[in-house]
Structures are given as structure tokens and as C-alpha cells.
A and B are shown apart, each in its own frame.
Chain A
């Protein structure tokens, strides 16, 4: 078992494009780390560098305490699950799973035992003689996982493994992979662009953009304390509302002013922003329609452009002082489109960002 350490790692392609300018990252042993970010953010490249499928231009990569820069993929003791499964189409499920073991000259009975063990966990026993062509997407994905499991690797690498599955199967496989991680007690590195997958599966999440790590923290911390505008907007669905507001001095702290609203917050660090514009962010669920919240003030009256009824709750797409907002309110307090609604802003849950640096204040 092993952790993974990136020290000032740079990846520049032959055409001169640098996708990862300077990566420092420490993944602990047995941890489930999710690399997440929009397309082209360098997350897959990072994973492929761990696998040894991409060369490292500069810097050092360690798995455990061994320097891996020049080590071939087969000698890194890793297993990888690909987005398109990458099962050998001409081999049966059994042969797919034993491919690596045969190369490692594992004795036949041991090989059989290992496959049986993996097949049992993944529910693949009835399919061992089938070719990948005769399996469904979910089954193929499980074979890909099984192929990785039997090798007993130090590190599991998963490159968007669920993106080819339908929504229901994705949810199912998500929990299966999480369970597998707990059961195997191995380091997992998982790449996805889906923030739901990241939030539900990762012990820690590494949010990347343009090859740079924006924030590397637990899911709860990312959600509650995003370090900048990008992370705040990327994590959470529907995404956080961002509004330009002016900082003014007020009784008991500073007030964020936009439209007719004046939201008073007790944040002394706003002193240097007095009279300046900041970006203020509020999550949709922190705009409350329940009357119980109205007592504290900070109530805005917004016009509903569109409402989406989700059953227990309702998403309201609002227009307030020419700014677009989304509120997530319990269905019984929601109103319909083209009506006005009063919403209380939970001042304690407000996020404030510097307008220029986009960093959290």
C-alpha cells in the first residue's frame, strides 16, 4: 500500500502546450482522492502521469517512497480502470481478468482463486466465460474493476469510469466503488468531471483548473469553505449564486448592498473593502422561504422567472435587481413562476470573494 506524492511536477506536450505548470499534491495511503474539474483542466493528465502513460517533463513523482519518473507502467504496481473499459474484446471475462496474472506468472490455482474472489464481490460469476461483447455496460465496467482488483495493486486509478453508464447504473456503481475502496483498503485516485461523483465518493477532493490545484480538501470543507469563486461555483448543484455588492459600514459590522438589499454581516476583515465592490455568494438552499427565518431581517423580494418542482423541494429561478438568483425551497413554501416571493438571506452562510483576485475573503 502506498501514498502518492507530486513534487513540482510539470507536464508540457511536444507541441509546447503546458497542461500542468507546477503540481504539488500529496495523496495519503489508503485514501480515496477524487480529481475533479472541467474538461481540459489537467486531471486526466495527472492520473496518466501516475500510471506512467504520460511522461513527466519536470519535477518528481513518488509512489510510496519510490521515485517513479522513469519507471515503466508495468513496474509501478498500479491498476487502472478506463472510461471505455478497455477490455480485450477477443478474450473471455475470465481471460481478461487473468491477463496480467499470467504475465506475472502467478500459479494457476491462485489465479483461479483470485478471479473467483473478485467475481464474487462484483457479481460476475455467471459471466466468466462470456466475451465482453455479450455484456451490458455495467457488467463491462465491473469486469474492468475486477481486472484491476485481482492484481492486488498498491494504487487504483480510475479515469471517469462511470461516464458511459446511464444515470441509475451510475448511482449503483458509485456506491459499489465506494464499498470496494473500504473493502480493499487501497489508495484510490478517481478522475471525474461530475461533482456529484466527487462529493459522494472522495475522502478528499482535488479541484483543478488549467492544470492548477484550486483547493484540495474534504467534500464538506469544499462545500462550506470554498477558497475561491471557481471552487464555489463548481461544487454544489444547483450552483452557488453570485452577486456583485458594495461594502458599506453598518451597525454591528459591514453591510453588503445590492439593489434594495442591505445584508449586515459581522466580518471585520471587510474593513479594507469599505466602499468597494465584492462578489457575494449564497447557496440556493440558504435563501429561505420559511417564515421562521424572516425574524433576522435580510429579507429580499424577488420575482420568479421560472420554477422547477422537484417533489419535496422546488428550484426557483429569480430575478432580483437585474441579477439572476436560484433558490431551493421546500415545496410547500414555494410560489409559482411570474409571482413575487420574499426570501430571507442566511447571513451566516454568506461567502464573500475579492472581485479582482476571486479569492475568498
Chain B
């Protein structure tokens, strides 16, 4: 075996990977460095060396009465966590319904859900706002997590995962063992679906954490705002009071939970990419 070409390939692969890694991490580094620098320092141009204004920036973010960061974090955590739980549990439940039962409208139901999948949020936004206004949910957190119950993309993922990993014999065995349908779902199906649930929970958490569009339409009260709205509010603040260090600090605070989630659960995320599509 001639080893030279494979050696060259390894080198090229590493170079490409290093460039990609740099592209990914560089912006995080700049963000964190800038969060430690003062507004005038940042205006001078970028630097690789951290500044000395970390605490000052942090204090000015936390003490700004117009930008309730702590309640923002709390709201974001509530909304994202509930979104993740609702999206995964109810999508798995829906997928299970279509996978394990035979009923007349099974195919149309599946097609209908797939049609919702291709519908952009913006199209239905006006109707959505009308609906929640009539329901008296404007300026509450409910409209931010309740719609996660209907998550067609998560449903489709769960459905494919069930096809590959949930033999119907198990469900039948549970039925014969005396388990009712909900008990079967909670005690037999959910544990088998754990890897898929974990992956989708992460994705649902992150996308809800980053969501700006719907919260911006629904929430106007300061103490109900989620982090993305607060960041936007800070950026569009009065020009005279504009402080870049403060903006970078707030963004840093906003991405910390996401980074923690990704680092802690990277194993599931990598596995999740391959999940679902594979059929044994």
C-alpha cells in the first residue's frame, strides 16, 4: 500500500477542518472579547486582546431599567423549556397515533401535517395574532410555547424514528399485558424514543430561544420580553446612549445557555443527524 496519497489527503482534510473551525469559532471569540471592551475601544476597531471593561459592561446591562435582562432570561428559559417539552411529547404522541393505529383518514391526516410543514410562520402570523388577541393571550407567554404542540417537522422526525425503531409487536405485547393506550405510550414508547426525543428537544429549545418574530409581535410589556427582543431593543436604543460593549455583553449572556446545551448534549446532536432516516 502506498501511504503517500492518504497522508496528503489527511493534511488537506486537516487544513480544511482548521479553516472551518476557525470560521465557526472566530465570531464567538470576537463576541466574547468585545464583551470585555468599552464602547470607545470597540469603535477603534477590533482586537484579539480582551479589554478591562467586563464588569462595567455586565453592570450596565444588569442595571438598565429599560432592559430587564434577568426577567428576560427567566422568560426565555420558561418559553424554551416548555416549547421543547411540548413539541417533543405531543409530536411523538401524534406520530404514534399515525404509526400504531389504522383508521380511515390516516393518509389524509399525514398529508395535512406535511402541508403545514411547508407553510412559513409569516403567512399565518396575522391570523395568529387575531386569534390570540381574541383569546386574551396578548402580552402573555402562552402564545410563545403553546403552538409548539403542533410541530410538523418534529412529528415527521418522530414518525421516521418509530418506523425504524419501534416494532408494533411491542405495543401489542403491552396491550395483552393489560396496559391501556396512554400507559403504553408513556411507559413503553417514550423510553424507546429517548434518543429522538433528546435531539428534538435540543433543536426545539434552541429555535425557541432564538425566536424573535413571534415574541416581537405578541409581547410589548417589558417584563414579559424574551432575550432576543431585549437585544433588539438595546440595539435600536437612543444613539447618544448607545453602548456597543453593553450590546456584546447582552448577546454573550444570551448565547451562554445555548453553548452549554450544545456542549453538554453534543453526543446526542451528532447521533441525531443520523437518526430517523435509517431503517433497519
Contact = CB atoms under 8 A, between A and B. Distances in A.
A129 B173 CA distance: 21
Contacts of B102: 14
Contacts of B174: 88, 99
Interface residues of B, number: 18
A78 B177 CA distance: 9
A99 B167 contact: no
Given A14-B102, A82-B169, A103-B183, A88 B175 contact: no
A53 interface: yes
A356 to B, nearest CB: 41
B160 interface: no
Contacts of A52: 175-176
- State the main secondary structure of chain A at its contact with B: loop
B131 interface: no
A100 B169 contact: no
Contact of A103 (B169, B170, B173, B178): B178
Contacts of A236: none
B188 A78 contact: no
Nearest to B165: A89
A322 B167 CA distance: 49
A90 B187 CA distance: 10
Contact of B175 (A53, A84, A89, A147): A53
A51 interface: yes
A100 B183 CA distance: 12
A86 interface: yes
A237 to B, nearest CB: 29
A163 to B, nearest CB: 13
A79 B188 CA distance: 18
B177 A89 contact: no
Given A84-B167, A90-B192, 7 more contacts: A52-B175, A73-B172, A73-B175, A74-B175, A74-B177, A86-B169, A151-B177
8 contacts: A52-B175, A53-B176, A74-B175, A74-B179, A82-B172, A86-B170, A103-B183, A151-B177
Interface of B: 102, 167, 169-170, 172-180, 183, 188, 191-192, 194
